[in-house]
């Protein structure tokens, strides 16, 4: 079966100057990959007609499917729709269903509808409309010389809705591609190069139709096996072997983050968590609460950033800090204990340290507490402030996960 290759063209000056980060391409690529369509090229162009036309002509040489995002709004710099009308030799006509939809949106929201809003109902007469229930800019499907072109709005939630509800089902029927299987192992505690050395023989023995990818993050590495759905039994066999080889550093055999793994463990045990974090300033609590249903396991978080707040708000003894320093095993253990007691949780996690270099070293201490049991660990970090925050977060959460599983 011939592979289906895709090019993504993102449109907008704001993407080229870095004012807006392109998250659409990554999301689209992930969705297409699940139905056996591979994104081979990604191109960003500004709001210039000639640049967009040149990109279309160039990508047509490489792709069976071209997806465009952006330039479908009601303002003067949104030129994609008339440009596509010209490119495919059509003319703009008013679509009654879209007009009724737009009118209903503005009426419901009790907002005046301007002429530029009405123009959103104008679409090329030679496209298939991909209806947009959550916004005013419809998606459009064109076919030319055995190539499919899809134009989508740049607003992420509108793009995702049209892609999921309209484009993906239509693409599956049009190209009839095999599904792609991914099996992902999430690990923490060892770096990418160490893992690669451990599984060298496993990787060498993988059949050519199963691909292994390393997806490293700061403090965590995901390993993904990929094959088509006709090799489901084979990919499962090799995935089980990979799990066995990396059992001691495995966080999950699903593609989830450490915070979701912790949420699942605590929920299954009917246990709870609280957090006291200094240098990370609430990042850990934010990660825990980003998980749906975390209110069932998370009691709350405190950010005692200064020495005074550690003493007055959290209840750490002044003598502990004066004797052992604010960044020490003794201090983070006491932070965790006081946090657990104040918020009445089963477990408490604490962090205190510097995310920027101080006197030639950067040290963060992590503390953990459960009634009758404590643990602390010094974490050396080597990056800039932002990266250190991510690394400390992944490391601290994994230490918490291991602390919970010890029982």
Q: In angstroms, rounded to a whole number, what is the distance separating the alpha carbons of residues 98 and 285? A: 43
> pTM here?
0.74
Q: How many CA atoms lie within 13 A of 4 on its CB side?
A: 23
Q: Domain limits at 387?
A: 258-405
Q: In angstroms, rounded to a whole number, what is the distance separating the alpha carbons of residues 116 and 32? A: 33
Please tell me whether residues 171 and 27 are part of one structural domain: yes
The residue to which tokens 């009405």 are assigned: 118
Q: In angstroms, rounded to a whole number, what is the distance separating the alpha carbons of residues 349 and 376? A: 10
**Angle (CA) 299 304 306, round 5°:** 180
| Final residue before a domain boundary, out of 141, 175, 209 | 175
Please tell me whether residues 154 and 237 are part of one structural domain: no
Please tell me whether residues 186 and 324 are part of one structural domain: no
Angle between helix axes 49-59 and 80-87 (nearest 10 degrees) is 50
Please tell me whether residues 18 and 167 are part of one structural domain: yes
The predicted pLDDT at position 109 comes to 85
Look up the CATH number of the domain holding residue 354.
Answer: 3.90.950.20
Quick one: pLDDT band at residue 71, thresholds 50, 70, 90?
Answer: confident
Please tell me whether residues 140 and 273 are part of one structural domain: no
Q: Which of 76-85, 230-239, 381-390, 394-403 has the lowest mean pLDDT?
A: 76-85
Q: In angstroms, rounded to a whole number, what is the distance separating the alpha carbons of residues 167 and 263? A: 34
Look up the CATH number of the domain holding residue 212.
Answer: 3.30.70.2860
Please tell me whether residues 83 and 184 are part of one structural domain: no
The predicted pLDDT at position 330 comes to 97
pLDDT tens-place string over residues 25-60: 999 999 998 888 989 999 999 999 999 999 999 999
Please tell me whether residues 230 and 303 are part of one structural domain: no
pLDDT tens-place string over residues 151-194: 999 999 999 999 999 999 999 989 877 778 889 999 999 999 99
Q: Is 373 helix (H, G, I), strand (E, B) or coil?
A: strand
Please tell me whether residues 197 and 229 are part of one structural domain: yes
Asked whether the predicted pLDDT for residue 360 surpasses 70, the reply is no
| Final residue before a domain boundary, out of 208, 236, 252 | 252
- Mean of all residue pLDDT scores within the chain: 92
Residues contacting 289, CB < 8 A, separation 6+: 295, 298
Please tell me whether residues 166 and 19 are part of one structural domain: yes
Q: In angstroms, rounded to a whole number, what is the distance separating the alpha carbons of residues 190 and 407? A: 23
Look up the CATH number of the domain holding residue 34.
Answer: 3.40.980.10
Residues contacting 233, CB < 8 A, separation 6+: none
Please tell me whether residues 192 and 163 are part of one structural domain: no
What is the DSSP secondary structure assignment for residue 174, as one 8-state letter?
A: H
Distances (CA, A) of 19 to 12, 14, 22, 33: 10, 5, 10, 28
Q: How many domains in the chain?
A: 3
Please tell me whether residues 200 and 329 are part of one structural domain: no
Please tell me whether residues 208 and 289 are part of one structural domain: no
Residues contacting 364, CB < 8 A, separation 6+: 279, 327, 351, 352, 353, 354, 355, 378, 379, 381, 388, 392
């Amino acid at each position: 079966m011939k592979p289906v290759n895709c090019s993504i063209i993102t449109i907008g000056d704001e993407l080229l100057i870095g004012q807006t980060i392109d998250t659409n391409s990554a999301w689209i690529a992930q969705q297409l990959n699940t139905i056996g369509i591979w994104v081979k090229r990604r191109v960003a162009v500004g709001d210039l007609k000639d640049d967009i036309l040149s990109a279309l002509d160039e990508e047509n040489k490489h792709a069976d499917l071209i997806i465009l995002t952006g330039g479908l709004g009601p303002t003067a710099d949104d030129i994609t729709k008339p440009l596509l009308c010209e490119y495919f030799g059509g003319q703009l006509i008013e679509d009654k269903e879209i007009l009724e939809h737009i009118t209903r949106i503005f009426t419901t929201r009790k907002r005046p509808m301007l002429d530029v809003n009405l123009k959103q109902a104008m679409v090329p007469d030679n496209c298939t409309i991909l209806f947009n229930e959550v916004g005013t800019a419809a998606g459009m499907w064109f076919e030319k010389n055995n190539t499919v072109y899809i134009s989508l709005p740049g607003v992420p939630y509108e793009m995702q809705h049209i892609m999921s509800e309209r484009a993906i089902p239509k693409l599956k029927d049009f190209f009839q591609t095999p599904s792609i299987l991914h099996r992902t192992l999430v690990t923490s505690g060892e770096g990418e190069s160490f893992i690669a050395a451990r599984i060298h023989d496993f990787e060498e023995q993988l059949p050519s139709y199963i691909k292994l990818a390393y997806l490293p993050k700061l403090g965590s590495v995901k390993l993904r096996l990929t094959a088509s759905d006709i090799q489901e039994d084979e990919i499962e066999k090799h995935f089980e072997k990979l799990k066995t080889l990396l059992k001691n550093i495995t966080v999950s055999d699903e593609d989830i983050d450490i915070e979701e793994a912790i949420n699942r463990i605590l929920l299954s045990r009917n246990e709870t968590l609280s957090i006291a974090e200094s240098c990370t300033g609430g990042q850990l609590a934010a990660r825990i609460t980003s998980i749906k249903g975390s209110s069932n396991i998370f009691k709350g978080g405190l950010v005692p950033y200064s020495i005074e707040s550690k003493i007055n708000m959290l209840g750490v003894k002044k003598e502990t800090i004066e004797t052992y320093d604010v960044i020490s095993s003794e201090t983070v253990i006491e932070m965790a204990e006081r946090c657990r007691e104040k918020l009445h949780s089963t477990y408490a996690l604490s962090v205190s340290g510097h995310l920027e270099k101080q006197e030639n070293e950067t040290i963060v201490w992590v503390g953990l507490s459960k009634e009758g049991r404590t643990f602390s660990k010094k974490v050396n970090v080597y990056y800039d402030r932002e990266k250190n925050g991510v690394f400390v977060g992944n490391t601290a959460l994994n230490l918490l996960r291991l602390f919970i599983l010890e029982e």
